[in-house]
Chains A and B, each alone.
Chain A
């Protein structure tokens, strides 16, 4: 009796405590995130302009030809010049030539008799089923139009998927994002490993000192550290002046607004995220193992390669994974030190919102980025689960 009352009280207390945080998280966080997922497939901008045609297509069997023609004319007559222009522009992205067809038909919609024969007589292109298929594909309230544009994939007349030449711009940007993230990951691991090693195995004073520098860097804003690199790398900046003074180069090098600057600054900014996990793992490697290996006759380098390094790999994987995932979504650093050819996916997301207010495309790219990050986390989580199970010998 007493225990059930206690458990009941616990549940009530948990409920009371969690109501407010859950409400805030749902309203301010989950709903906005869900909002961009639905925005990415939201086609109401186009579909709301064809209510009659939508009804005609929904009737099954796509209705009769005359029914479709009448519905199209009715919908077009209902649009003002501006809406007609926007619609024509959107459909023209699917087949070129649709723009003039829709604009001409729309202008005279009131005068054309509502039959297919009259429509074809007005413009023979309406006799071509391709145009009708494009309309049918593009008027549902939900569509993958944005994702098609992002991937450059188009449904051909036979229903198969093709990538048109030059339409793969976002695929290339995604590839570039992956490549930069991978390069930065390798660089941070390369530079971070000796630091983590020194913290874990150096003298106490050295370890504390390096850890302080790493933590200070970790908590210094990304923007401040990027600022430092802008000042260092600019054409008449510190690094170029040093190189000129040393006589290494005769004229300033272009160090900023290119891939070099992007990689250097991003590596610097993300370095602590690689060092801290590696350090944590290295601290658990018993020093006695190294001594044992040395006493059995292995040299310092061999001991490191065969005894120490394999055990530190877990930290390398965690650190590298963290850096890679963070690098995928980077915006500030490439935007400030990169050139046009070094911008990552985030830059184009920001661009769609800030320049053209194209929320659909921004959302579609965001959904892909988020999906990529969550997918990587899922892989990482399950790998860890498998590893711990194996260690437990289950």
Chain B
């Protein structure tokens, strides 16, 4: 009996988790404009419509620009912060780590209101810069954690060995520590990119019509009218997530292989 309980509950719960996207995303290829089964035929027409509409293509381009900028800034501040805290004492390290990680726990609506007011007063509202800055703050904790984890996993003997051979602190950092911690930086960069690329709430408060990102366009599309182009955009966003997950998997595999050698 225990086995049947195990299988039935597992299958039902897995279905709840997986079926919604598995059922809905194929409708992006449906000839009918009604979002339901049975599918009438297979078409790429809705993709053509998305890529032909300036409102969607502009949003896609904006999202890529914002995510790339936010990623670069998040890697810079998150990476510097993680490297810096490893050199501080225990108490200071705890306090600083709590600060650097804290944007993760603040509800997004709260940071959104805070950013909207502060950037509005600074004359940045609606600008590309405001979105990049805000998303960098949301991505920095992930870079911080990822870099910190990889720095802590390093063998301290390697640094000591380099020091014993007379390498300066800076030289050791550049030629020993940094290359070894590179996977942490890379993983953090991916986290920061996808966080910005998928972010809705903060962007909703900061984006002007010209700087609208893809999730915002999707959000307003959903409130406006349900049509297959919306499912196409949802599919595109899922593909980006899938690519991200594959990249992370590749990196983990390579990391495991490297540590075995």
- Seen from chain A, the residues whose Cβ lies within 8 Å of a Cβ on chain B are 9-11, 13-15, 17-18, 20-22, 24-25, 28-29, 31-33, 35-36, 39, 191-192, 194-195, 197-198, 202, 206, 210, 213-217, 219-232, 234, 236-238, 241, 268, 271, 299-301, 304, 325, 328-329, 331-332, 336, 346, 349-350, 353, 359, 362-363, 366, 369-370, 373-374, 377
Contacts and interface: CB of A to CB of B under 8 A. Distances in A.
A362 B113 contact: yes
A221 B107 contact: no
Given A35-B114, A366-B113, 4 more contacts: A25-B100, A202-B6, A220-B21, A228-B23
Nearest to A329: B107
Interface stretch (B41-49, B52-60, B72-80, B180-188): B72-80
A25 to B, nearest CB: 6
B83 to A, nearest CB: 5
Interface of B: 1-2, 6, 9-10, 12-14, 16-18, 20-21, 23-25, 27, 34-37, 73, 76-78, 80-81, 83-85, 87-88, 96, 99-100, 103, 105-119, 121, 133-134, 136-137, 140, 169, 194, 198, 200-201, 204-205, 215, 218-219, 222-223, 226, 230-231, 234, 237-238, 241-242, 244-245
Given A32-B115, A301-B2, A231 B226 contact: yes
B110 A17 contact: no
A216 B243 CA distance: 10
B122 to A, nearest CB: 10
A223 B20 contact: no
A336 B222 contact: yes
Given A18-B81, A195-B17, A353-B113, A227 B245 contact: no
Given A336-B222, A336-B223, A17 B80 contact: yes
Given A304-B2, A370-B106, A21 B80 contact: yes
B9 A194 contact: yes
A10 B85 CA distance: 11
B76 A20 contact: yes
A32 B117 contact: yes
Contact of A300 (B2, B12, B219, B244): B2
A378 to B, nearest CB: 11
A374 B2 CA distance: 41
Contact of A21 (B35, B100, B112, B198): B100
Contact of A331 (B18, B34, B36, B201): B201
Contacts of A374: 105
A301 B2 CA distance: 7
Contacts, number: 234
A370 B200 contact: no
The 10 closest A-B pairs by CB, nearest first: A329-B107, A300-B2, A17-B84, A32-B118, A221-B198, A14-B87, A18-B84, A194-B9, A32-B114, A21-B81
A183 to B, nearest CB: 16
Given A28-B137, A35-B117, A217-B18, A223 B200 contact: yes
A219 B13 contact: no
A223 B21 CA distance: 12
A14 B17 contact: no
B105 A377 contact: yes
Contact of A220 (B16, B201, B238): B238
A232 B24 contact: yes
B85 A195 contact: no
A35 to B, nearest CB: 5
Given A238-B36, A301-B2, A369 B110 contact: yes
A222 B198 contact: yes
A224 B113 contact: no
Contact of A18 (B37, B96, B226): B96
Contacts of A225: 20-21
